[in-house]
Copies of this chain bind each other. A is one copy, B any other.
């Protein structure tokens, strides 16, 4: 496996961790002899990477990616790729709030889904090869159009991140409640939101800009529903609240039964602070 990164610091770290056979300085060098190329960069940088690697790709190579948005990636990458390569965009729906070479671990994709969005007329063999790659990492694979992918991820990933970032910002701006109080009493529910609100800022800025239409559509529905709850609270309509709160429990049960979530209460978060006090990782940001 040949690895490169735009950041010298990251390349150095990958060498130190030793999970690549070779670490090279440029993307063009990295792809020259590759049968499968996977671009792992923020969505907004994928067009630039495609432009850089396009002329260096060998005939018959497969080009893929891991971007969280697919229609914009197809739009930005495809024009730079030569006709003699196969383009099979991919999105592994897995990850943590951390990023960079230290954030990976062997089980990351186990039991999670990877979505492939091959363009019409793709070579079925290339699609199967990319599917096999992810399956060997433990993932399950589903194929859909880029447009449908972007709609599905807008509700299952992009909107949750936007809302999490937003509430953490709202809390940070309060004057009547101090920052120290927000932190102390975060176990009441707030801290659940801070995990995804600690995700890489560059990656997520690009996601929202690249999947604008679908995110705005889902956000519109969310705020409409929230206004309904707000009105129910103002007018004391407890039955409307109770009905929703009962319905939402069933969804969590389904997610747990499907194996996409742990059944352990509180995510299994159990250790006392004193016992689990370990250094807080300072993740590498993208582009560092």
Contacts and interface: CB of A to CB of B under 8 A. Distances in A.
Given A253-B280, A254-B183, A188 B153 contact: yes
Contacts of A167: 159-160, 163, 222
A152 interface: yes
A151 to B, nearest CB: 6
A120 interface: no
B205 A241 contact: yes
Contacts of A230: 216, 219
A189 B157 contact: yes
A263 B101 CA distance: 18
A242 to B, nearest CB: 5
Interface stretch (A33-41, A46-54, A104-112): A104-112
The prevalent SS among residues of A at the interface is helix
Given A156-B182, A170-B155, A261-B194, A201 B269 contact: no
Given A186-B156, A209-B236, A268-B269, A251 B171 contact: yes
A218 to B, nearest CB: 7
A113 B187 contact: yes
A194 B252 CA distance: 5
Given A194-B251, A218-B170, A186 B260 contact: yes
B194 A248 contact: yes
A195 interface: yes
Contacts of A241: 201, 204-205, 208-209
Interface stretch (A77-85, A123-131, A271-279): A271-279
Given A169-B225, A171-B251, A280 B256 contact: yes
Contact of A182 (B68, B194, B251): B251
Contacts of A272: 107, 110-111, 138
A260 B273 contact: yes
Interface in A184-215: 184-199, 201-202, 204-206, 208-209, 212, 215
Given A160-B167, A170-B222, A251-B194, A187 B93 contact: yes
18 contacts: A68-B188, A93-B188, A96-B266, A113-B185, A113-B187, A155-B174, A156-B188, A157-B190, A165-B229, A170-B218, A173-B221, A182-B251, A183-B255, A192-B196, A197-B248, A209-B236, A262-B271, A265-B281
